[in-house]
Amino acid sequence: MTYIPDYLKTYPNMNTSSPLHISLNRLYHGFRPHRHDFLEFSYVVDGRGSESINDARHQMLPGTFTFVLPYQVHEIFTEPGSTLVLYNCMFSMDLLMEPGQEGGLMDLIEQNAMPPFVQLSGSENEKMKLLIEDMYQEYKGNEPWRRTMLQVRLKEILAFFDRYRRKGVHSAETAKQSSKSSASVWPIIHYIHRHYQDELALSDLASRFSLSVSRISEVIKQTTGQTFVHFLHDLRLRHACSLLVSTDMNVSEIALEVGYGSYKTFSRIFRETKGIVPKDYRKMKLNQDTLRQ
């Protein structure tokens, strides 16, 4: 039987100025095949099972830390008679982008030849556990500088993970085991994420990355499951939703800020995608926040 993975596009706290959500979960029967356009890490606290990332499967035990990239097909299996207890943290790629810098932690995404998981033990496992528990408590609280502390902790966790997995890569050949097509994907995706607010066309990308328009289009579709136009709209509308909820900018200003040349075009695409016009979306979200208080 062929399974078509779910495409998950939302998570709690996504459309805010700090798009990050961490939770502690119990999986009795694993989790169905899925992919998403955001980043995720998980850390196993208790139980046994396994997970598959793009058809490569590995064990999940206490101390297993996994870093799932956008658009990868991911599935979790709980061992019969066991319960997987694990932290899951979902966050936007934007949180890894340093203003004015091209590198930084975005390099973690482009290192797709590196293993996507590590099995921590001993003092390294204890350190990771403390970092994640601290992040979880910070997320649940409402202390001053909460947003800053969460972003600092996220980067510390990912840097610690990357240092540890590099120790497990013993040969230069292992680090180079990646196809040319996959190696070319992330610079393109990264560039679109950085420049979706500008006027951006497939011809611009083709020229920049020395590929044909048809090849660029094919790479984007293979990676994201979307056409370039739909991918671009998704990024712009996600930013727009965040601004509608977290700022007092008027809708026309938001349209220009996220890359649309006119309010009319923005409103039409927003309504076609969300089923509601931007002003009503803002009212709906503000009312929801009021009811929660």
Please compute the mean of the pLDDT values over residues 241-264 and round it to a whole number.
Answer: 93
261: phi > 0 → left, psi -120 to 50 → alpha, else beta; which? Answer: alpha
- Which pTM value belongs to this model? 0.77
CA-to-CA dists, residue 189 to 120, 192, 199, 209, angstroms: 30, 5, 16, 11
Report the b/e string of 205-226 with b at 16+ CB within 10 A: bbeeeebeeeebbebbeebbeb
Question: How much is the pLDDT for 178?
Answer: 41
Quick check: 83 pLDDT over 60? Answer: yes
Query: What number of residues does the chain have?
Result: 293
Please compute the mean of the pLDDT values over residues 91-98 and round it to a whole number.
Answer: 81
**What is the rounded distance in angstroms from the CA atom of residue 239 to the CA atom of residue 46?**
36
Quick check: 27 pLDDT over 70? Answer: yes
Phi–psi pair at 232, nearest 5 degrees? -65, -45
275 pLDDT tier (thresholds 50, 70, 90): very high
Nearest to 66 by CA among 1, 157, 198: 157
Q: Which residue has the tokens 């101390």?
A: 63
* CA geometry: angle 189, 264, 198, nearest 5 deg: 30
Quick check: 132 pLDDT over 50? Answer: yes
Quick check: 99 pLDDT over 60? Answer: no
Contact 281, 251 (CB under 8 A): no
**CB within 8 Å of 48: residues ≥ 6 apart:** 59, 60, 61, 78, 79, 82, 84
- What is the percentage of the chain residues whose pLDDT exceeds 70? 87
Please compute the mean of the pLDDT values over residues 270-288 and round it to a whole number.
Answer: 91
Q: Which range is least confidently modeled, 2-6, 84-88, 124-128, 288-292? A: 2-6
**What is the rounded distance in angstroms from the CA atom of residue 79 to the CA atom of residue 83?**
7
Question: How much is the pLDDT for 1?
Answer: 40
pLDDT digits (tens, 9 = 90+) for 156-209: 999 999 999 998 764 444 444 443 444 468 788 888 988 999 999 999 999 999
Q: How many CB atoms lie within 10 A of CB 67?
A: 23
Q: Between the CA atoms of 220, 13, 252 and 278, what dihedral angle is there, to the nearest 10 degrees?
A: 90
**What is the rounded distance in angstroms from the CA atom of residue 49 to the CA atom of residue 61?**
7
